[in-house]
């Protein structure tokens, strides 16, 4: 029932694993684009099928429901952020260097996955309770990693405070990129990361040490 | 057709102006609560009527459509932020002091109106094109005020940079309060404003000047 070319080696009428994976990826990609553009509620399953070039019957073979697609998008994106943070933390740099790397990598992931960020910011409330709980656990783990790094920086005397307000505000600042980042803006993601890192670490106030030029 | 008590001085079967205003306010309040809790798309007009204790026919007399309610919520909130920023800027304090007052007042307004913020962050995309354009104009004016203050601080040598990335990041940090502020958290809105102001102006990095204790 899919519109994929029929492979001569297909057996028992079921698509092969690689074809199934391709189809699933097309469906996920279509859902991500439509959810990011119009919102979860305003997107119909039929539109996702049309965009992915998959018929309705096959669509339900590959995915369970529209909510399952939303869950897959938000889960995959949050797991990606988490794996990336864990990789950076495991390198055991000093806390300020680790924080700098976390900010830079977070900015790059947000820019790369800004459609998932937009869906996250807008439509996370549409998850089932069960999925919302698991997503919150993943986000809490991520936030705890950032907090641990900031705590370590404070304990070592390199950071002035480790208040949770700062961690929340910092992550809020970075996540807001999902709203205001423009592909054709004057700065690359790396430059944006540098500007935000400087703002967070050194502040905006001019001092003898940080005055430009 | 409303469930309001019938006033003995009501004439020609129409509610008096004060009653109309009361009813409108009840409807707006109910819409704000429901949109903030469940989202615009998941809220039905009938639920708004039930929560506001207004019957469906009267509901459409008082408001045009569900989208009109969304528009009123987002417009009123953004106008409030704008009027507040203009009041602070007209006091002509020095730019760093003005920025500090802007941050403090913005935090307090966000905390007070966090349901409107949540609706703004999630459901602004559900506005009609015409309303979305006007909302964007209001937001652009607000952002330009902040940018002007930061530009003035930079021109006077008090701020190290006036890059738009910083202004976007700062506003993103403050607006993210709509997600993470908890009424029973350990800090008052004024304390949160102080912590975020210090972070933005002085940075997180410990120096001889800013080390705690």
Through-space distance between the first and last CA atoms of chain A, rounded to whole angstroms: 64
pLDDT of residue B211: 55
Q: Is residue A213 part of a domain?
A: no
Residue B75: inside a domain, yes or no? yes
Q: Which residues pair with A14 in a beta bridge?
A: A11
| Residue located via tokens 């993103």 | B172
Q: Are B152 and B95 in contact (CB under 8 A)?
A: yes
Pair (A51, A152) in one structural domain: no
Which pLDDT does position A15 carry in this prediction?
63
Q: Spell out the residues 6+ positions from residue B49 whose beta carbon is closer than 8 angstroms to its own.
A: B27, B30, B55, B56, B58, B59
**The tokens of B172 are what?**
């993103």
Domain termination residue (choose one: A41, A64, A87):
A64
* Mean pLDDT of the region A35-42: 89
Looking at the structure, do residues B120 and B158 belong to the same domain, yes or no?
A: yes
Asked if residue B4 belongs to a domain, the reply is no
Cβ atoms B63, B69 nearer than 8 A: yes
Question: Could you tell me if B161 and B99 are in contact, meaning their C-beta atoms sit under 8 angstroms apart?
Answer: no
Q: Token pair for residue A188? A: 């690359």
What's residue A134's pLDDT? 98
Tell me how far the alpha carbon of residue A28 is from its chain's centroid.
14
Q: Do A28 and A39 have their domain in common? A: yes
Contact indicator for B213, A161 with CB cutoff of 8 Å: no
- The residue assigned the tokens 């939303």 is A70
Phi and psi at residue B105, to the nearest 5°: -70, -40
CA distance A100 to A96: 6
Structure-token pair, residue B126: 């559900």
Which residue has tokens 């929560």? Answer: B51
Cα gap B3→B23, rounded to integer Å: 10
Contact (CB<8Å) B122/A123: yes
CB A178 within 8 A of CB A121: yes
Contact B171 A176 (CB under 8 A): yes
pLDDT tens figures, A102-157: 999 999 999 999 999 989 988 888 899 999 999 999 999 999 999 999 999 999 99
Question: What pTM was computed for the model?
Answer: 0.84
Residue B4's pLDDT band (cuts 50, 70, 90): very low
Place of tokens 């800004």: A114
Radius of gyration in angstroms for the set of CA atoms belonging to chain A, rounded to a whole number: 21
A195 touching B (Cβ < 8 Å): yes
* pLDDT at residue B17, rounded to an integer: 79
| Binding-face residues of B in 96-155 toward A, CB within 8 A | 96, 121-123, 125-126, 150, 153
Provide the pLDDT for residue B9.
46
Percent of chain A whose predicted confidence (pLDDT) is above 90: 69
- Put simply, the answer to whether A42 touches B179 (Cβ < 8 Å) is no
User: What span, in angstroms and rounded, lies between the C-alpha atoms of B78 and B134?
Assistant: 11
> Can you tell me the distance from the alpha carbon of A16 to that of A7, in angstroms, rounded to the nearest whole number?
8
Please indicate, yes or no, whether residues B81 and B138 belong to a single structural domain of this protein. Answer: yes
Tens digit of each residue's pLDDT (9 = 90 or more) over B91-124: 988 999 999 999 999 999 999 999 999 899 888 8
Helical (H) or strand (E) element with B97: helix B95-112
Q: Identify the pLDDT of residue A6.
A: 45
| pLDDT digit string, tens, across residues A58-86 | 888 888 899 999 999 999 999 999 999 99
According to DSSP, the residues that pair with A11 across neighbouring strands are: A14
pLDDT band at A209 (very low <50, low <70, confident <90, very high): low
- Please report whether residue A28 resides in a domain: yes
A89-128: buried (b, 16+ CB within 10 Å) or exposed (e) per residue?
beeeeebbebbbbbbbbbbbbbbebbbbbbbbbbbbebbe
pLDDT value of position A68? 94
Interface probe for A, chosen from B40, B132, B173 (most Cβ of A below 10 Å), is B173
Instruction: Look over chain A and give the mean of its residue pLDDT values, rounded to a whole number.
Output: 88
Give the count of beta carbons closer than 10 Å to the beta carbon of residue A52.
Answer: 25
In 3-state terms, what secondary structure has residue B208? Answer: coil
Query: Which domain does B37 fall in, by range?
Result: 15-64
* Average pLDDT of the residues in A43-54: 93
Looking at A6, A40, A64, the residue that finishes a domain is A64
Whether residue A128 sits in one domain with residue A83: yes
One domain for residues B192 and B99: yes
Confidence of residue B15 (pLDDT cuts 50, 70, 90): low
Q: CATH number, domain at A165?
A: 1.10.357.10
pLDDT per residue as tens digits for the range B43-84? 999 999 999 999 888 888 888 899 999 999 999 999 999 999
Q: Could you give the 3-state DSSP secondary structure of residue A151?
A: helix
Shared-domain flag, residues B74 and B166: yes
Whether the predicted pLDDT of B13 surpasses 60: no
Q: Is residue A209 part of a domain?
A: no
Supply the DSSP symbol for B1. -
Enclosing H/E stretch for A175: helix A164-175
Alpha-carbon gap, residue B131 to A122, rounded angstroms: 19
Q: Which residue of B has its CA nearest to A204?
A: B201
Q: How many contacts, defined by CB atoms under 8 Å, are there between A and B?
A: 152
Cβ proximity of A53 and A27 under 8 Å: no
Q: Residue A2 domain-assigned?
A: no
* Residues B34 and B134 occupy one common structural domain: no
Nearest to B171 by CA among B200, B130, B212, B206: B200
CATH number for the domain including B45?
1.10.10.60
Position A98 scores a pLDDT of 97
| B41 and B69 together in one domain | no
Contact of A24 with A2, CB cutoff 8 Å: no
Q: Are B50 and B133 found together in one domain?
A: no
A123, A196, A210 ranked by CB distance to B165: nearest: A196
Same domain, B88 and B98: yes
Tokens standing for residue B3: 């469930």
Q: Any bridge partners for residue A159, and if so which?
A: B205
Angle in degrees, 0-180, between the axes of helices B189-202 and B164-175, rounded to the nearest 10: 160
> What count of Cα atoms within 13 Å lies in the side-chain half-sphere of residue A177?
29
Instruction: Find chain B residues with C-beta within 8 A of A161's C-beta.
Output: 195, 198-199, 204, 212
Residue A112 lies in a domain: yes
Q: CB A85: neighbour CB atoms within 10 A?
A: 24
- At B122-156, the pLDDT tens digits run 888 889 999 999 999 999 999 999 999 999 999 99
Do A128 and A200 belong together in one domain? yes
On the question of pLDDT at A55 being above 90, the answer is: no
Residue B211 belongs to some domain of the structure: no
Report residue B151 as tokens: 């530009």
């Amino acid at each position: 029932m899919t519109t994929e070319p029929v492979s001569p080696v297909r057996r028992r009428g079921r698509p092969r694993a690689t074809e199934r994976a391709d189809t699933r990826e097309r469906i996920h990609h279509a859902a991500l684009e439509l959810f990011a553009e119009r919102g979860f509620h305003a997107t119909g399953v039929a539109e996702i099928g049309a965009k992915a070039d998959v018929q309705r019957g096959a669509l339900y073979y590959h995915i369970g429901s529209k909510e399952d697609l939303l869950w897959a998008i938000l889960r995959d994106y949050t797991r990606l952020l988490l794996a990336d943070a864990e990789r950076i933390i495991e390198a055991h740099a000093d806390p300020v260097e680790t924080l700098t790397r976390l900010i830079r990598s977070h900015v790059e992931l947000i820019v790369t996955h800004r459609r998932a960020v937009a869906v996250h910011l807008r439509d996370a409330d549409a998850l089932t309770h069960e999925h919302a709980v698991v997503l919150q656990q993943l986000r809490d783990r991520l936030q705890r990693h950032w907090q641990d790094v900031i705590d370590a920086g404070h304990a070592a005397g390199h950071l002035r405070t480790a208040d949770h307000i700062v961690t929340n505000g910092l992550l809020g600042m970075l996540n807001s990129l999902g709203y205001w980042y423009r592909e054709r803006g004057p700065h690359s993601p790396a430059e944006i990361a540098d500007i935000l890192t400087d703002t967070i670490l050194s502040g905006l106030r001019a001092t003898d040490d940080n005055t430009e030029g």
